[in-house]
Structure 1
Amino acid sequence: MVPAFLARVVASLLGRGSWSLHVKAAGTATAVLALVMLGGSWAVVAAEAGAGGANLTSYPRALWWSIETATTVGYGDFYPVTAWGRVVGAVVMVVGITTYGMVTAALATWFVAREQRRHRAHQLRDAATEALHERFDRLEQLLNRDRGAD
């Protein structure tokens, strides 16, 4: 159910022609992160099953662990004790760090592009104002010249 929903979200993100590439990439990375956290939670419970000292023995605990691992919070309340559990943890960390980096970059790009558009609009307004002043000056010169000829 959840993977099908995420697949629809990713398809929607990729299908929107009006969205920029960085927004599509950040949205897709976020959907991939959700899948990795959900799948990683299941995988770490499977990897830790029966291990001595394991504390990731239920899906809710593992889901909490994957969220804090992906966000690099790492409270230390839950952690894998097996080699495979640590491999799953490394994957969750890398995907989480990459996703948050992409989302941050997408937001920064959006802010910069917005500011650049605003700056271009001011430049166009200033150029139009300058052109109008030049036309008015030429008209004034023509009127003064015609008055002087009378």
Structure 2
Amino acid sequence: MTPASAAARFDLPDPDAFTRPYWEAAAEGRLLLRRCRACGRAHHYPREFCPHCWSEDTDWERASGRATLYTWSVVHRNDLPPFGTRTPYVAAVVDLEEGPRIMTEVVDCEEGALRIGMRLEVAFRAVAGDDFVVPVFRPAAAGDQGHGQPRN
């Protein structure tokens, strides 16, 4: 299944001509954002205009992949396939180093170890028979576990 054919699964995004670069980059292990050339702010999810100033003068930019945990919830029950087979999982909101706040999943971390402000790094999970890749986040390497605001 390619990103273009992922629409057959309701739990996956339906890539179009505009978002295809985002999903192709994810498949290659890169996280992309859009940055506005008019106001300079980055945004996520990918869209053709800046949600801050409404300019259409935006470009793709590779994100650092670094983030801090803003909040989370451990999901113990989800009756929608395929989520029910993955419970429990950590649904989270993270602040990317570049500024946008995004919804994601935290992986490779015990529930008791989660802390607001903990440093995270992007990881990529293959789904749909390993043919579709989504960004998720995991605790950052041991030397990068500071708390508070993302580093500059």
| TM-score bracket relative to the smaller structure | under 0.3
TM-score w.r.t. the length of structure 2 is 0.20
Say which structure is richer in helix.
1
Q: Which has the larger radius of gyration?
A: 1
TM-score w.r.t. the length of structure 1 is 0.21
